[in-house]
Structure 1
Amino acid sequence: MHTIVVPLDGSELAAQVMPYVRTLAPLLDAHVHLLRIVPETPAGGSESWAQVLIAVYGVPESEAVRRADHDAVMEELHQQAQAYLDAQAQTLRSAGIEVTSEVRTGSPAETIVEVAAAHMPGALIAMATHGYSGLRRWALGSVADKVIHATDAPVLLVRGQAQPVVQPPRRILTPLDGSGLSRQALPLASKIARAAHAELILLRAVVPMIEAYIGAPVLGRPLVENSETLNALHEYALDELKAEAASLRAEAPRVLTRAIIGYPAEVIIDEAREMDVDLIVMATHGYSGLRRWALGSVADKVLHATTTPLILVRASE
């Protein structure tokens, strides 16, 4: 990882990602690129004399006057945005982190994806998300949601009112489902774990059969047989995780394995909370932007429900 792209909109919510950026940048040996996006049509700005004249006397302003007025407002907004980024950059530089910044005009989501693409390979986008919906709502819609679905870069999402920052992270959770897609989160997870000397927890959810809940046999078979099958699946999942852990220990010596019977999203959220995990790193599917499991989009459910910082790694076939 070489560059952490941090979009900021000037709000307190967006700035909540900054402590996590200060922690991750040294671990990833990355520099930080701060980004502020000014909308193409400013919502505010000082009234020009031409606007006053047209309001009072009905005197139309010329196209040249309108353009000059628009340019003046945009210039003011750009200066204010750059001053804000300069203040944020100073905090990072005081921690010994290399920082660049830029102010752009355009659509927030599209611009974020474009800037991240310019820093690929090796870019990570870091954003705060809204505490109410799980996604930060900007003026043009859910920017975080659009970015997740459009970018090829990993995305760090910090939930509004998230748990306190732990520097460095002590426990990192990576959910696996047995597929090659889910394993694509492991290189980044193990890199952070190694640099932070953190525990890397590999988690596998073993989905229970519905009859185990309702107590009904399937096709006339006794329930005990179904329980034995579920236990066998659990042991198989645990064996797979242990083999994966053994291959990772050269890079991340402290690797733990957990196979839990339950539905994936619920298992991930519960284990992250019960094990006091500081960071979740999981893969997302290349087609929809979110990895689709048998019971729906696990990544999407985790994103909306957990307060643990989450890195979504875009997987490819």
Structure 2
Amino acid sequence: MSIIHEIKKVVTPVDFSDNSKLIAESAGYLAGKFGASMYLVFIVQNFEDYSGFFVPQMTLPTLEGELAESAEVKMASFCGEMVDYCKKAGVKELNYKVFMGDVGEKIVEYANEIEADLIVMGTHGYKGLEKIMFGSVADKVVRAANCPVMTINPYTCCK
């Protein structure tokens, strides 16, 4: 049995924050070095998790639907900006998906679905009450993923 694991599919979650491009480019660089395909993913957080915090003026299904549509447009634009970088880096193919649900769970489900060989994602700095209530997405993914997970702290690297 070989312990060498060929990297053919790299999943990278993005959240459209200021650091998303940095994380995506880092993942693209790695995918390019392996001649792998890159799969960007964005998850619209399910509002059921927040139902005790506020009552929106529109219905939740309408709000979630509009957020999903907006995320699709944003993701298409984000990937459009990444195409040239990925080509130069040697990425075999660039794909993207938008899902709705629990962010950590959906990342792991998608990685399993496409049989990803590596997940590359940023860490984030939740602190205090937010960390206690929601936990770290990166921590959830690292614990549940069936493939290696590389986390990147955008505040200490690559700048």
TM-score between both structures, scaled by the size of structure 1: 0.41
TM-superposed deviation, 1:247: 1.2
TM-superposed deviation, 1:195: 2.9
Q: Name the structure 1 match of 2:77.
A: 243
Q: Name the structure 2 match of 1:173.
A: 11
Is 1:186 matched up with 2:11? no
Cα distance change on mapping 1:296 and 1:286 into 2, 3 Å: closer
Q: Name the structure 2 match of 1:259.
A: 98
Is 1:315 matched up with 2:149? no
- Deviations 1:235-264, CA, capped at 9 Å, x for gaps: 111211111111111122421111100111
Q: 1:230 aligns with which of 64, 75, 93?
A: 64
The structure with the larger Rg is 1
What SS class does the counterpart of residue 104 from structure 2 fall into? helix
Q: Name the structure 2 match of 1:210.
A: 48
- Deviations 1:217-244, CA, capped at 9 Å, x for gaps: x47x67xx32121111011112111111
In structure 1, stretches of 5+ residues that fail to align are 1-15, 20-164
Q: Name the structure 2 match of 1:8.
A: none
Cα distance change on mapping 1:271 and 1:287 into 2, 3 Å: closer
Pairwise mapping of residues 1-317 of structure 1 onto structure 2 (< 5 A)? Answer: 19=4, 165-166=5-6, 169-210=7-48, 218=55, 225-253=59-87, 254-285=93-124, 295-316=134-155
TM-superposed deviation, 1:184: 2.5
In structure 1, what is the Cα distance between the partners aligned to 2:44 and 2:101?
6
Amino acid at match of 1:304: R
Q: Name the structure 2 match of 1:22.
A: none
In structure 2, what is the Cα distance between the partners aligned to 1:270 and 1:295?
19
> Which structure exhibits the higher relative contact order, with contacts defined as CA atoms closer than 8 Å and separated by 6 or more residues?
2
- Kindly indicate whether the alpha-carbon contact (under 8 Å) linking 2:46 and 2:101 is maintained by their aligned counterparts in 1: yes
What SS class does the counterpart of residue 185 from structure 1 fall into? helix
In structure 2, what is the Cα distance between the partners aligned to 1:196 and 1:230?
37
- Kindly indicate whether the alpha-carbon contact (under 8 Å) linking 2:38 and 2:95 is maintained by their aligned counterparts in 1: yes
Amino acid at match of 2:38: L
- Kindly indicate whether the alpha-carbon contact (under 8 Å) linking 1:189 and 1:281 is maintained by their aligned counterparts in 2: yes
In structure 2, stretches of 5+ residues that fail to align are 88-92
Amino acid at match of 2:136: S
- Deviations 1:27-53, CA, capped at 9 Å, x for gaps: xxxxxxxxxxxxxxxxxxxxxxxxxxx
Percent identity of paired positions between Structure 1 and Structure 2:
26
Cα distance change on mapping 1:287 and 1:274 into 2, 3 Å: closer
TM-superposed deviation, 1:271: 0.6
Count of aligned pairs: 143
TM-score between both structures, scaled by the size of structure 2: 0.77
Amino acid at match of 1:207: Q
Q: Name the structure 2 match of 1:66.
A: none
Amino acid at match of 2:107: I
In structure 1, what is the Cα distance between the partners aligned to 2:123 and 2:22?
9
What SS class does the counterpart of residue 180 from structure 1 fall into? coil
